[in-house]
Amino acid sequence: MTSKKTEQAGSWDIFCRVVDNFGDAGVTWRLARLLVQKQGLHVRLWIDDLAALQTLVPELDLASAKQSLEAGRLEVLVWCDDLTSVDFEPLPQVVIEAFGCDLPQAYLQMMQTQLQRAKLQVKQAADAVKPTFWINLEYLSAESWVVGCHGLGSLQSNGLTRHFFFPGLVEGTGGLMLESDYEDRRQAFQNIEIQQAWCRQWRLPWADSNTLKVSLFAYENPALPSLIEQWQQLNRPVLAYLPEGKLLAEFNRQSSLNLQAGESWQQENVTLVVMPFLPQSAYDELLWLCDVNFVRGEESFVRAQWAGKPFVWHIYPTEDAAHWDKLEAFLEVYQPPESLKALMIQWNSGKLQTDVWHKVMSDRVALEWHADAWRQHLKNLGELSTNLVRFVKKTL
């Protein structure tokens, strides 16, 4: 007979509140799948905005508050406000609170009761109840204080300990997430026929290496017209893939157009193709296809780094302007060639100098080399889901 304790082993909960956009859902979804597929765990992902996740994972059913995937090893549950209707039992081995999203009170109370029971049973160690291990998964930041805080435990007033786990770009952090088959997929995608088939599947034009291909995922940015003007000064075709969303809305406003997915806009050598928002599982291919990738937030920023291609990061802007410190910290560890550094800073400030793209293009070989070397560096940090499981085992 399976005891409750055996059922608990190897099962993790992840809680996610979507603040806005797709980063919170994107990170927790990727983590849930990695914990299932790479670490062999059972995972329940509790998310308060199923629609945000469904944009990334179209196979999810918006009408279903509880659905099962990966042969039952991954459950997606809607985290609703009325927690009395939700059954959390049994508590898992580990709970991940994503980005300080505040675990439900009822859940914390159960953890507290479980801890008290565990303390009473401590003498019969062999079959004692093991308290759920509580981790707060933090946002990615390259700031130097992160290394000092990664892995720390903080004793709460209710007697529970909350552990802080930081993804990161340097030694002493949790690293970044990466699927086991990523490198094989990336290599296979070098094949032109595979690229063309992928483009056909998503109804996107394919272009040969004479065309500069760019993916354009960013927040609203007044610098877009200037970027397009600078592309028009190049003596080669430019094809930009612009996903539906904030930057497209800005482009439509600026140009008094109403471009939709599937439509394109052309002026001189520059073509903008509006693409539907891809499922998360198809987004890497877009990054591999392009010569330069504009990315934003956290998740696409990480994927662009793994892609090993030059990229321009539009950082998530915060009201207190703390994002500038974070951008500076990233540039400090990433150490890109000066031209790319200038472009990233100018793109984030919404104003480009007239020759910034030309300078980037002149440094193209150095930029490609740098992006590839950085990818190798990231690999050496170890993969986040593996580091996370190791951290739990070590701390327990």
Give the β-pairing of 292-296 and 212-216. Answer: parallel
Smallest gap from Cβ 215 to ligand TRH, in A, equals 7
**Among 24, 49, 75, 138, which one carries the catalytic annotation?**
24
Among residues 129 and 142, whose Cβ is nearest to ligand TRH?
142
Distance CA 261, CA 100 (A): 35
Smallest gap from Cβ 3 to ligand TRH, in A, equals 38
Give the residue among 103, 54, 106 at the shortest CA–CA distance from 76: 54
Smallest gap from Cβ 31 to ligand TRH, in A, equals 11
Give the β-pairing of 161-165 and 212-216. Answer: unpaired
Instruction: Report the DSSP beta bridge partners of residue 213.
Output: 239
- Helix 338-349 vs helix 364-380: crossing angle, to nearest 10: 90
Among residues 298 and 383, whose Cβ is nearest to ligand TRH?
298
Instruction: Report the DSSP beta bridge partners of residue 46.
Output: 15, 77
Among residues 20 and 61, whose Cβ is nearest to ligand TRH?
20
Among residues 132 and 221, whose Cβ is nearest to ligand TRH?
221
Smallest gap from Cβ 141 to ligand TRH, in A, equals 10
Smallest gap from Cβ 268 to ligand TRH, in A, equals 25
Smallest gap from Cβ 300 to ligand TRH, in A, equals 3
Smallest gap from Cβ 113 to ligand TRH, in A, equals 33
Closest residue to ligand TRH in the complex (CB): 23
DSSP 224-279: HHHHHHHHHTSSS-EEEEEESSHHHHHHHHHHT----TT-EEEETTEEEEEEPPPP
Among residues 115 and 204, whose Cβ is nearest to ligand TRH?
204
Among residues 19 and 152, whose Cβ is nearest to ligand TRH?
19
Among residues 10 and 317, whose Cβ is nearest to ligand TRH?
317
Q: What is the H or E stretch that residue 292 is in?
A: strand 292-296
Among residues 55 and 339, whose Cβ is nearest to ligand TRH?
55
**Among 75, 138, 284, 298, which one carries the catalytic annotation?**
298
Give the residue among 377, 350, 386 at the shortest CA–CA distance from 220: 350
Binding stretches for ligand TRH (CB under 6 A): 19-24, 26, 56, 139, 217, 243, 277-280, 283, 296-301, 316
In the annotation, is 363 catalytic? no
CB-based burial, 142-163: b 16+ in 10 Å, e otherwise: bbeebeeebbeeeeeeeebebb
Contact 391, 165 (CB under 8 A): yes
Contact 154, 366 (CB under 8 A): no
Instruction: Report the DSSP beta bridge partners of residue 12.
Output: 43, 94
Smallest gap from Cβ 254 to ligand TRH, in A, equals 20
First to last CA, the chain: 26
Contact 299, 30 (CB under 8 A): yes
In the annotation, is 75 catalytic? no
Distance CA 199, CA 24 (A): 28
Mark out the alpha helices in the chain (DSSP H runs): 4-8, 23-37, 50-56, 105-120, 145-149, 182-188, 192-201, 224-232, 246-255, 280-289, 299-307, 322-334, 338-349, 356-362, 364-380, 384-395
What are the tokens at 365?
């070989």
Residue numbers annotated as active site: 24, 298
